[in-house]
Amino acid sequence: MKNGLKEMQYKFIGKSLYFPEKEILLVADLHIGYEESLNEQGIFMPRRQFEETMADLEKVFEKIGEVKEVVILGDLKHEFGLISSQEWGEVRKVLDYLKSKTGKIVLIKGNHDTVLEPIAKREEVEIKECYVKKDICFLHGDKLIAECMDKKIKMLVMGHRHPAVVLRDGYKKEKYKCFLVGKWKGKKIIILPSFFPFVEGSEISSIEDNRMFIPEKELKGFEAYVVGDEVYGFGKLKEIV
């Protein structure tokens, strides 16, 4: 996908975003530890999240090979106030795998990542509130960070919203993860779907409760790109919802 500026060429690779010239791969909202969180609430769920997450990552790297940087746009883990045993083991395995594919990993702190520092320190990975790479600012998306609104910044890339679209065919309807792409305050905005394998996300028809700092009126002008066997453009949100 190209937006007219050579330095901002990007591609949708499954549920991830890739900047080929910069060799930066972005993923958002893995929510590792979700199953143990449910188990603690008395809800049984088979432990398949790690295997499916790893399989999805493998598919991405089969297409692009090794990269210079991987940026995780927040909510790497699921539990808010602690590190569960599942998170300790599986987050480290994911980070170790990513280290084999890149020379640098940056963790953006999401709202679920209140206790992430012990794992990051053990894995020698840096945590940031946002990460600026020339004219692009990478952030989680739950709050606006002043550094990202500097006039030199031309693009914001974020997660957090878990956008999904419901496609209807008569009585049948299915929900799909999607990317949202648009403009806000003169900046290009890309919102990634969650990389989390089990839940498709939050339907964008509930846009009035979009859990972001971008107003509903402006978000409705964003384009939706639906994740299926490939990534398909579906037009503006106001034409879908």
186-196: average pLDDT: 95
Tell me what pLDDT residue 2 has: 44
Least confident range of 101-110, 168-177, 203-212 = 203-212
CATH node for 6-240: 3.60.21
Give the tens place of pLDDT for each residue, 122-132. 999 999 999 99
Q: Which of 148, 72, 61 is nearest to 105 (CA)?
A: 72
Judge residue 6's burial from the number of C-beta atoms within 10 Å of its C-beta, 0-12 exposed, 13-18 middle, 19 or more buried: exposed
pLDDT at 12: 97
In this prediction, residue 240 carries a pLDDT of 76
The per-residue pLDDT for range 80-90, each reduced to its tens digit, is 667 888 888 89
Average pLDDT over residues 73-80: 84
- For residue 241, pLDDT beyond 80: no
Residue scoring higher pLDDT (76 or 1):
76
The radius of gyration computed from the CA coordinates of the chain, to the nearest angstrom, equals 17
Question: Is the pLDDT assigned to residue 37 strictly greater than 70?
Answer: no
Mapped onto helix, strand or coil, the DSSP state of residue 128 is strand
| Integer CA distances (angstroms), 80 to 3, 50, 174, 191, 226, in order | 36, 19, 30, 22, 29
Q: How far is Cα 50 from Cα 60, in angstroms, rounded to an integer?
A: 16
Q: Is the per-residue pLDDT at 53 higher than 90?
A: yes
Q: What are phi and psi of 33, to 5 degrees?
A: 105, 0
Q: Give the residue extent of every domain in the chain.
A: 6-240
Q: Please, are residues 105 and 95 in contact by the beta-carbon 8 Å criterion?
A: yes
Is residue 3's pLDDT more than 60?
no
Q: What is the pLDDT of residues 151-170, one digit of tens each?
A: 999 999 999 999 998 877 76
pLDDT at 86: 83
> pLDDT tier at 4 (50, 70, 90 boundaries)?
very low
Spatial contact of 153 and 135, defined as CB atoms under 8 Å apart: yes
What is the model's pLDDT at position 223? 95
Q: Is the pLDDT of residue 39 over 70?
A: no
Residue 215: pLDDT band (50, 70, 90) is confident
pLDDT at 220: 87
- How high does pLDDT run on average in the chain? 87
What pTM, to 2 d.p., does this model score? 0.90
User: Taking 50 as the threshold, does the pLDDT of residue 6 lie above it?
Assistant: no
